[in-house]
């Protein structure tokens, strides 16, 4: 263990899941910060965290903290992360990294200038089954990959005030859910060379369904479907000339997959066996990078995070979704 001291910025549901998994992995959680002192104090008591702060600024200034997990709604990520970097803290920023590529680039540039790690908390990429899948792809076991498909479809709230639907909170299925299958397509096939997107918008103007078709440099195609109003299979597939990989429900969580030959022969079965939700793997990776003197992730480099935000920008341009005040960052 590197002995890095974690701070948790904001105290919502995802912060609870992440902190639980940090504890599972034996990581050191030193402080929590919230906009409300009572919320920070309650969170600190729940997880036996020794220090709590009634503002994000106090957390950023805490000398007992080395790295901070940012779990506010996405429109606040850039401002929160820049403040933390200015205070010399490494940052692990919940996905989506920011609202758009311009904000993501600003974080990247500041982190590099300060010699600090800034990393997108796309925790799925660090899960053991995904590491094995990348090994199989790299080994040529699938032959030439022709297609990738994935969905992220959930029946969630239609409350217009909820962050999922509120435009001023970066609402919409794309940034909240679609980021997973789109990042997955990038992971397997690299940057798309063409992007086609279609969506259905809800009452507030936020996208409730979004579908994408990407062409990639190899000629391979990827398709994604995301919805916040209906629950689908939440599976993913990589289809090659020699074999295919079928990732079971829920594909972006720690789960199982099969490598299957064209004749139906199962060549490999992988079953995940982990404690917690699996968010500890990204945290342990961040600690490892810092201990090794690295200031970027080799699993999801910052340049790729920025470029994926650019892809999401292009999708939003095609489906007609912009956020209030967004032009101030462009």
Catalytic residues: 95
Residue 98: closest CA among 90, 109, 88, 106: 106
Q: Are 122 and 95 in contact (CB under 8 A)?
A: yes
Contacts for 309 with CB less than 8 Å, ≥ 6 apart: 96, 97, 98, 100, 101, 103, 104
Torsion of CA 25, 54, 79, 4, to 10 degrees: -30
Q: Distance (Å, rounded) from C-alpha 283 to C-alpha 268?
A: 28
Q: Distance (Å, rounded) from C-alpha 218 to C-alpha 149?
A: 16
Q: Are 319 and 313 in contact (CB under 8 A)?
A: no
Contacts for 76 with CB less than 8 Å, ≥ 6 apart: none
Q: DSSP letter at 178?
A: I
Q: Distance (Å, rounded) from C-alpha 311 to C-alpha 167?
A: 19
Q: Are 4 and 287 in contact (CB under 8 A)?
A: yes
Q: Distance (Å, rounded) from C-alpha 96 to C-alpha 54?
A: 25
């Amino acid at each position: 263990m590197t002995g890095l001291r974690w701070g948790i910025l904001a105290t919502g549901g995802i912060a609870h899941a992440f902190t639980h998994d940090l504890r599972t992995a034996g990581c050191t959680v030193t402080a929590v910060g919230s906009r409300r002192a009572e919320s920070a104090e309650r969170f600190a008591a729940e997880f036996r965290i020794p220090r709590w702060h009634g503002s994000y600024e106090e957390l950023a200034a805490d000398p007992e903290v080395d790295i901070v997990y940012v779990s506010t709604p996405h429109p606040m990520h850039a401002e929160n992360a820049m403040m933390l970097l200015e205070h010399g803290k490494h940052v692990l920023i919940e996905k989506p990294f920011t609202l758009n590529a311009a904000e993501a680039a600003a974080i990247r540039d500041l982190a590099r200038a300060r010699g600090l790690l800034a990393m997108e908390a796309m925790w799925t990429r660090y899960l053991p089954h995904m590491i094995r899948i990348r090994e199989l792809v790299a080994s040529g076991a699938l032959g030439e990959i022709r297609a990738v498909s994935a969905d992220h479809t959930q029946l969630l709230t239609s409350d217009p005030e909820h962050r999922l639907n509120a435009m001023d909170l970066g609402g919409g299925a794309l940034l909240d859910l679609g980021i997973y299958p789109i990042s997955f397509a990038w992971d397997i096939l690299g940057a798309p060379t063409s992007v086609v997107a279609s969506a259905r918008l809800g009452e507030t103007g936020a996208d409730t369904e979004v579908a994408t078709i990407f062409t990639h440099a190899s000629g391979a195609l990827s398709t994604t479907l995301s919805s916040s109003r209906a629950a689908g299979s939440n599976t993913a597939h990589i289809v090659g000339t020699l074999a295919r990989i079928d990732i079971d429900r829920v594909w972006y969580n720690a789960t199982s997959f099969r490598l299957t030959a064209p004749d139906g022969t199962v060549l490999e079965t992988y079953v995940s066996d982990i404690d917690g939700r699996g968010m500890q793997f990204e945290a342990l990776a961040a600690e490892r990078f810092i201990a090794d003197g690295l200031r970027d992730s080799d699993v999801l480099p910052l340049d790729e995070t920025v470029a994926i935000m650019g892809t999401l920008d292009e999708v939003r341009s095609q489906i007609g979704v912009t956020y209030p005040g967004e032009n101030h960052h462009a």
